[in-house]
Amino acid sequence: MRIDVDKIASAARHVVSHTRVVLGTTIPAVAGTVVAGRVLDEKSTYKELEDAHGRMRTVHRGDLIVGVLGSRDALRGYSGVVPETVAPGDILHLLNLGGVIGRCTSVNPDVGQPFRVEILGSVLRLTGDDRQGEPASILPGPVPLLEELPQLPPVVLLAGTCMHAGKTAAACALVRRAARRGLSVGACKLTGVALRRDTLEMEDHGAFVAHSFADAGLPSTNTGPVVPAARGVLAAVAEHRPDLIVAELGDGLLGTYGVMDVLTDPAIQRSVSAVVLSANDPVGAWGAVQLLEPLGLRPVVVTGPATDNAAGCSVITERSGVAAINARQASEAFGDHVLDGLRGAPSLRVVAGRR
């Protein structure tokens, strides 16, 4: 069956580029399968779908959309899983703005109930003379999974206590300051749920290349080959020969998105030049430092809502011994603090002192 869809989610952008798609009745119930569905609701909050270009488009009842089967486990959003079986006519849910579709298991009241989506079928990949096609998947993606890492430029990892802790804002501030100081900056997102918004924002702030785990074929990182995908993403950015890589870890240290798996990978650890911690409150900042120190990844600075005023900053520094600088209110000081600690890195010796 051929249909014309109204919106193609960004999670499917590497597989589906045209609004006319061919559907099949066999739907592999695994993360990454590309599906088409009919939206059954209208919403007043959390009502958009990010398209292939990164534009947020309002979703309406009756819209035909293309998304990707996947799971999510978001404190500030929806939790959901890929059901054991999926068939045409099943009712699933739109779990995030990037087009990840699954069965919702838990809802944060701030975002309301998720869009219900009636599954119409799998989107078929047609190749050559094959008129039957096969169900399309975003895995493998254009960025290969890697078991080893090549030599990388200095890498700054940005981790946080949970989602909405200010990691992307900190990453963008660091990218901006590094670019202003004459560095060529590559950026990436290694964990989370598929959405272009954060990497596009990093590009807007001066990164000349940006990739994410979705480019490696993962709709989210709470299942699947998270560490090989992270290695592949770092290597893909490094191919462009940046002076510095700014890498954000979506979700929090104790979440289910594989953040600790990435942080404890020996190959990735060897490539890390600095860790920036974003925290929502001073207690979270203190606890995160305790988690990171045994890994040899003591943060060089704490930022995020916990540093929104001097009260938080002073408590964090007193209790943890780590500098606390707000990346939004003092972006230059924040960026300089991180970059000045990287002067020993070979590719930064010449330019790290520029203003």
Q: Where residue 238 falls among pLDDT bands split at 50, 70, 90?
A: very high
Q: What's the predicted TM-score (pTM) here?
A: 0.94
Q: At what angle do helices 167-180 and 331-340 cross, to 10 degrees?
A: 70
Which whole number is the average pLDDT over 77-86? 97
The answer on pLDDT for 126 being more than 90 is: no
3-17, 110-124, 336-350: range with lowest mean pLDDT = 336-350
Q: Where residue 130 falls among pLDDT bands split at 50, 70, 90?
A: low
Q: What is the pLDDT of residue 345?
A: 55
Q: Which residues of 275-286 are buried (b: 16+ CB within 10 A; e: fewer)?
A: bbbbbbbbebbb
Q: Where residue 354 falls among pLDDT bands split at 50, 70, 90?
A: very low
Whether 123 contacts 66, CB under 8 Å:
yes
Which whole number is the average pLDDT over 172-190? 98
**Residue 313 to residue 306: CA distance in whole angstroms:** 7
Q: What is the pLDDT of residue 352?
A: 44
**Residue 302 to residue 320: CA distance in whole angstroms:** 10
**Residue 133 to residue 261: CA distance in whole angstroms:** 36
The answer on pLDDT for 347 being more than 60 is: no
Which structural domains are found in the chain, ordered by start? 2-135 (no CATH), 155-348 (3.40.50.300)
**Residue 203 to residue 189: CA distance in whole angstroms:** 12
The answer on pLDDT for 45 being more than 70 is: yes
The answer on pLDDT for 353 being more than 50 is: no
Which whole number is the average pLDDT over 6-22? 97
Q: Where residue 348 falls among pLDDT bands split at 50, 70, 90?
A: low
Q: In this structure, what DSSP letter does residue 310 have?
A: H
Which whole number is the average pLDDT over 259-271? 97
Q: What is the pLDDT of residue 342?
A: 85
**Residue 303 to residue 67: CA distance in whole angstroms:** 34
